[in-house]
Structure 1
Amino acid sequence: MTDLTGKTALVTGSSRGIGRGIALRYASLGADVVINHAGDGENARNTVAEIEEAGGRAIAVRADVSLPPDLDRLLSAALGAFGRLDIVVANAGKEIIDQPVLDVTEEEFDDLFAVNTKGAFFTLQKAAALLSDGGRLIYIGSSTTASPHPGVGLYSSSKAAVAWLVRVLALELGPRDITVNTILPTATAGAGVFSSVTEGDEFHQGNAAFRPLGGRGGTPDDVADAAEYLAGNLASWVSGQSLLVAGGAIQ
């Protein structure tokens, strides 16, 4: 079992969905956890309370990852609360699907790229400067970047840029024994545009039709499993990689 005792993990966009699932997993493994949100304070506080009730330590910090000064404040709060930073997961993002490229507006482009690309870029950059040697940087990308798919041109483009950054950053941070990796989740019940979807409902069953493994769609726990692996000692020799978490499908 992975042991993260004595480590501090920061997960952006972790008041709900995939980010919350990863934060709860890290807390269960002994890490002190920083919950980040851009405005969902109630769910962030509930997540902190759940961690504390289980005997862990956590704080919630409101910060918009698209604003570099907010990221500075978020990282400073993490260090102020726990004194160190060992694992940072760049998870915060926005999603638009079923949208042809010809329908994309400049406003939508700017909005998604501000969070998904700029926000993730500076999350990883700023975290890398403060991360303990031997630390872990993890980017939550999207399975839509694994193969072309109609309707996700804007969304997948905004995610693909950071997946490339991960490969470069892995080389630059290698001398400090910091690993940098990407997780590519499939459509996940309870996350993103599928936040209202629950495992076993009609959509999830339909989604499972093109997931050959297990006859089901994705869940936050599936992504948390991958995040646990990449944060632990078993992945100490894995860096610059993209792990597709899609039940055997290509996207």
Structure 2
Amino acid sequence: MNTLNNKVALVTGSSGGLGKAIAERYAALGASVVIHYNSHKEKADEIVNKITSAGGKAIALGGNTTKVAEIEKLFTDAKAAFGKIDIVVANAGIEQVELPVTEIKEEDFDKVFTINTKGSYFTIQQAAKHVEDNGRIIYVASSTTVFAVPGMAVYGGSKTAPKYLVEVLAKEIGHRGVTVNSLIPFAVDHSGIFAQPDSFPDLRKSLLDSCPMGRLADIEDVANVAEFFASDLSSFVNGQHLLVNGGATQ
């Protein structure tokens, strides 16, 4: 069984969705967890209460990941609370779908790239500065970075740039025993844009039709891979991008 005893994990965007599932998984494996939020403090506090009530260790820290100074403070505060950081998951982001290229506005581009690209870049940068030797840095990308999906040019593009950063950083700090990898999920049911079962029905059907397993990803499917990347099992996996998509072609 994997164990993260005596490890400290910081998961951005973990007040809900995939980030919440990953943070809770790490806590269940024995890690002390930093639940990061931007605007949903009450949700972050609920997760902390759930973890601590079960005997785990967790704190909630806020911060806008589009602001470098706030990212820096997030890492400083996390280390002040737990003394170190062993695992960082750069998960915070937003989705944008069903927006054809001809209808993209400048403000659409700026918003999505600021949150998804700039935010992830500088989160990963701070992770490289602060993570302990033999630590783990994990970027949550998107299957739209592998398969082109109509209506997702801006979203897929914003998630692609940090994947290159993953490969570069893996080479720059690999000598410290730190691994840097991307987790690339398919569309996730009951999360994000598919939080409601009747949301985006045409897109849902198209994605389901492309997947030989006939379903979207579950939150736990993604948490399983996040567990692998955080554990000793992945100690020689570095600079890689792992698709969690059931063999889908979209």
State the TM-score, normalizing by the size of structure 1.
Answer: 0.94
| Aligned-CA RMSD value | 1.7
Match of 1:236? 235
Structure 1 residue 43: deviation in Å? Answer: 1.1
Match of 1:246? 245
Instruction: Give deviations 1:79-136, integer Å, cap 9, x for gaps.
Output: 0111010000000001100111111111111111111000000000011101100000
Q: How does 1:1-251 map to 2 (within 5 A)?
A: 1-197=1-197, 207-213=207-213, 215-251=214-250
For 2:84 and 2:184, the matched residues in 1 are separated by 27
For 2:108 and 2:206, the matched residues in 1 are separated by 28
User: Match of 1:230, as an amino acid?
Assistant: F
**Kindly tell me: are residues 107 and 76 of structure 1, through their superposed partners in 2, closer, same or farther at Cα, counting changes over 3 Å?**
same
Structure 1 unmatched ranges of 5 or more: none
User: How many residues in Structure 1 have an aligned counterpart in Structure 2?
Assistant: 248
User: Match of 2:83, as an amino acid?
Assistant: G
State the TM-score, normalizing by the size of structure 2.
Answer: 0.95
Does the Cα contact within 8 Å between 2:210 and 2:249 map onto a contact in 1?
A: no
For 1:157 and 1:41, the matched residues in 2 are separated by 29
SS at the partner of 1:127?
Answer: helix
For 1:115 and 1:195, the matched residues in 2 are separated by 20
User: Match of 1:242, as an amino acid?
Assistant: H
SS at the partner of 2:210?
Answer: coil
For 1:153 and 1:210, the matched residues in 2 are separated by 19
Instruction: Give deviations 1:52-89, integer Å, cap 9, x for gaps.
Output: 11110000111111101111111111101110100000
Indicate the percent of aligned positions where both proteins have the same amino acid: 46
Structure 2 unmatched ranges of 5 or more: none
The runs of 4+ residues in structure 1 deviating greater than 6 Å are 201-206
User: Match of 1:193, as an amino acid?
Assistant: I
